[in-house]
Amino acid sequence: MVKHTERPAFPEAASMPVRRRGRPPNPGRREDTRALLVRCGTELCTERGFQITGIDEVLKRAGVPKGSFYHFFRSKHEFGEAVIENYRQYYEKRLDRFLKDTSMPPLERLDAFINEAQLRFALSNFRRGCLVGNLGQELGGMNDNFRAQLAAVLNDWEARVAACLQEAIERGDLPASHDAAMLASLFWNGWQGAVWRAKLEQSAAPIRSFGAFFFRSIGRKEMPAEYAEQPAA
């Protein structure tokens, strides 16, 4: 049912060891093999979900011999935790690349993040979306350990966006009455809903509409051209 594309899901993947079908990886490169398993797990869980992704499938995609999984992880649950942690690190680097780029005013950094995310999502044919969004939906109601881990990731992301919005408030680009932490929470929840709809519509329009609605709603003083009135979906 799943269509795999040839593109790597995550640019970091490019620096990781190339998959070699049927040939076991160099046993001296334990960390590389673990990272490869986590990367393949991240791709599979983002595309299909955690529960349905089998350990055998991860090993097959990684080209790592069967039976070596428990050399690296005590359980599938521990593997899931490693996948989420890996995505957290990857995504926080990506967020920081935009949100800490002081060559731009703070709200333009957020615009740049939103624009790049639309582009990436379109490049995956709107198939993948956000691992944290997907697993939060799948596991949030089922497993309290995963739920708490995913909620903590959201809190980290939220703190980053809140810092950026706080800068905007202090510069006078947003009304001084705003609570940056509350806006950041509304941002991420609205973001996840927009990404969810973009997947259903196979279109980035819901993400653009959300950005426009969010920034207009919070009284942004200068609205960039990319948020001009667009159809909502």
d(CA 184, CA 188): 6
Report 205-224 residues binding its own copies (CB under 8 A): 206, 209-210, 213, 216-217
Q: Which two tokens stand for residue 194?
A: 């927009």
| Cβ contacts of 189 within 8 Å, gap of 6 or more | none
**43 touching its own copies, by CB under 8 A:** no
Residue 154: name the closest of 172, 137, 171 by CA.
137
Stretch in the footprint of its own copies (CB under 8 A) among 36-44, 93-101, 187-195, 220-228: 187-195
- For its own copies, the closer CB: 26 or 202: 202
Residue 114: name the closest of 208, 202, 205, 185 by CA.
208
CB of residue 232 to its own copies, shortest distance in Å: 4
**233 touching its own copies, by CB under 8 A:** yes
Stretch in the footprint of its own copies (CB under 8 A) among 15-23, 94-102, 111-119, 197-205: 197-205
d(CA 147, CA 138): 10
**228 touching its own copies, by CB under 8 A:** no
* Of the residues 51, 57, 115, 223, which one makes contact with its own copies according to CB under 8 A: 51
CB of residue 36 to its own copies, shortest distance in Å: 23
Site string for its own copies, 76-115 (x = CB under 8 A): ----------------------------------------
**163 touching its own copies, by CB under 8 A:** no
| Cβ contacts of 77 within 8 Å, gap of 6 or more | 145
d(CA 131, CA 47): 8
Stretch in the footprint of its own copies (CB under 8 A) among 9-17, 37-45, 166-174, 198-206: 198-206
Q: Would you tell me which residues interact with its own copies (CB under 8 A)?
A: 1-3, 47-49, 51-52, 124, 126-129, 133-134, 136-138, 140-143, 147, 150-151, 154, 179, 181-182, 185-186, 188-194, 196-197, 199-202, 206, 209-210, 213, 216-217, 231-233
